[in-house]
């Protein structure tokens, strides 16, 4: 659900193309430490999304799909984390139903298909709560 036609929609809003451009500049310059937007340092957000998008650019070329690939991967990781937690807590069926329910919510799918930081924040919080 998160990867199907991932690059079929152009970037939405002001943030998604901005983050994709920062990642593109990071990929093209080879400087994976200092994010830049238009050549000016851009330390507004953590670098994880930029790194994941730059890796997507390296694997698939510069495109909307590649920019969103890391976010979709993070959303998938969150669903698998919930599955394994539910399986350990009760049963494999409980884990499957929990992960399936998560993947049918509009917000999870929506944020899992966009090049934004929201999914990375949600997944890291989810995994921290699961670990607790």
Quick check: 41 and 34 in contact, CB under 8 A? yes
- Global pTM value: 0.89
Per-residue pLDDT of the chain (132 residues; tens, 9 = 90+): 889 888 888 888 899 999 999 999 999 999 999 999 999 999 988 899 999 999 999 999 999 999 999 999 999 999 999 999 999 999 999 999 999 999 999 999 999 998 889 999 999 999 999 999
Domains of the chain by residue range: 15-131
Quick check: 61 and 89 in contact, CB under 8 A? no
How far CA 50 is from CA of 46, 121, 125, in Å, comes to: 8, 14, 19
């Amino acid at each position: 659900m998160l990867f199907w036609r991932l690059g079929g929609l152009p970037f939405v809003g002001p943030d998604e193309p901005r983050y994709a451009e920062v990642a593109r500049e990071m990929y093209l310059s080879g400087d994976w430490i200092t994010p830049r937007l238009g050549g000016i340092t851009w330390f507004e957000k953590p670098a994880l999304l930029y790194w994941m998008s730059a890796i997507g650019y390296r694997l698939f070329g510069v495109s909307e799909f590649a920019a969103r690939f890391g976010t979709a991967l993070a959303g998938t990781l969150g669903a698998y984390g919930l599955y394994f937690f539910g399986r350990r807590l009760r049963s494999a069926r409980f884990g499957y139903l929990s992960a399936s329910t998560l993947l049918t919510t509009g917000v999870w799918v929506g944020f899992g298909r966009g090049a934004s930081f929201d999914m990375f924040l949600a997944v890291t919080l989810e995994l921290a709560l699961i670990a607790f």
